[in-house]
Structure 1
């Protein structure tokens, strides 16, 4: 884990991790609203689709009703926890079974190139867990030396409350956007991109050291 320790000294890597949490969390929140509303995730109706097709699979989940909404609420909660930054380690743990399940589903059915995306999402999740390995080591090593396994804050850069505020703003923006404009990912992504860049600029002005020289 010495590689991770060295990476945690690089502020541009810390910045990458922060925004990776935003990206994954916001994507989950974006996809959760339609399920919570009890609507279909796909535009087509899969009742008459072949039983082993992805469209039929989604139709089965949709017709389950309560389970469909449960999936939506699960995605919303996990996405929000990731975006808080403060509880991101817990979010990464909760996200792992979800991302693994999504990946296996896309491999099992004909989703075209979707397994590439879900596979990258799973790898990103694993990376986020490795990033916070000190916190997990503290929990798992009951007899370990607390000095060696001490959870170390990554300095004032990652601990800046601005990142928590920005996460909340992105979360609210995503929920309100989907409720008002339905699922239009391009416009939503651009709105989040503007907010993300704005947050980066504000932090840069505050600290003047956003990236190690």
Structure 2
């Protein structure tokens, strides 16, 4: 099946939208603690064995500016993904960061964390494949216009992304001791409300168009 045919499927369009929210939200969540100049965990890596994950992260944390620079990169990439409008730029910025994180998780003993980072890396590649009709200009191929549904093009997704970003940024800025399930639960709730609102608006638009038909 061609990319054009896949991009016409509404369920896949929604999957792409919410994958952007999920990936972007995780980066925004992880970035703020770095920008605040705090450790990613409450456990200090000082005195840890030289070739250990704890020592590696402690070294990055002690660098100060580099630690905050990583956080800034994650924040920008996550925000761009969540905007939907600039999601392609976000995916391009996201790819080298998550690729670097994945290599870190297979270079040090992180347990099964590499499975999560591998999933995020594959999801990012999938988002870039989704926009291949635009990215193909990089290999000197003409840009292709692929039709998508009005539901996918709805500006409502940009508003949902902004709400998710602001909630995550404010929550992570105000607290260092976070409740992951609380944050995730509220994000899921916002996402579900956004889906219901977008579907309601979409159905109402279809009905209005049907009434106007002769």
User: Given the two structures, how large is their TM-score scaled by the length of structure 2?
Assistant: 0.91
Alpha-carbon distance between aligned partners in 1 of 2:86 and 2:12, rounded to the nearest angstrom: 19
The equivalent of 1:152 in structure 2 is: 146
Are 2:195 and 1:196 equivalent residues in the alignment?
no
The equivalent of 1:179 in structure 2 is: 173
- What do the CA deviations read for 1:94-152 (whole angstroms, capped 9, x no partner)? 111111100000000010000000000000000000000011113431xx4x4xx3233
Alpha-carbon distance between aligned partners in 2 of 1:64 and 1:195, rounded to the nearest angstrom: 36
Gaps of 5+ in 1: none
The equivalent of 1:75 in structure 2 is: 74
Alignment of 1:116-155 (within 5 A): 116-141=115-140, 144=141, 146=142, 149-155=143-149
> How many residues were matched structurally?
203
Other structure's SS at 1:40 match? coil
Deviation at 1:178, TM superposition (A): 1.1
**Retained in 1: the 8 A contact 2:45–2:58?**
yes
The equivalent of 1:44 in structure 2 is: 43
Deviation at 1:7, TM superposition (A): 1.6
Are 2:109 and 1:110 equivalent residues in the alignment?
yes
User: Given the two structures, how large is their TM-score scaled by the length of structure 1?
Assistant: 0.91
Deviation at 1:190, TM superposition (A): 0.4
- What do the CA deviations read for 1:179-208 (whole angstroms, capped 9, x no partner)? 223332110000101100000000111112
Alpha-carbon distance between aligned partners in 1 of 2:96 and 2:113, rounded to the nearest angstrom: 18
**Retained in 2: the 8 A contact 1:42–1:55?**
no
Alignment of 1:55-66 (within 5 A): 55-66=54-65
Alpha-carbon distance between aligned partners in 1 of 2:98 and 2:196, rounded to the nearest angstrom: 31
Deviation at 1:6, TM superposition (A): 1.9
Are 2:88 and 1:89 equivalent residues in the alignment?
yes
Other structure's SS at 1:208 match? helix
Alpha-carbon distance between aligned partners in 1 of 2:190 and 2:124, rounded to the nearest angstrom: 23
Deviation at 1:153, TM superposition (A): 4.8
Other structure's SS at 2:39 match? coil
Alpha-carbon distance between aligned partners in 1 of 2:102 and 2:190, rounded to the nearest angstrom: 29
The equivalent of 1:26 in structure 2 is: 25
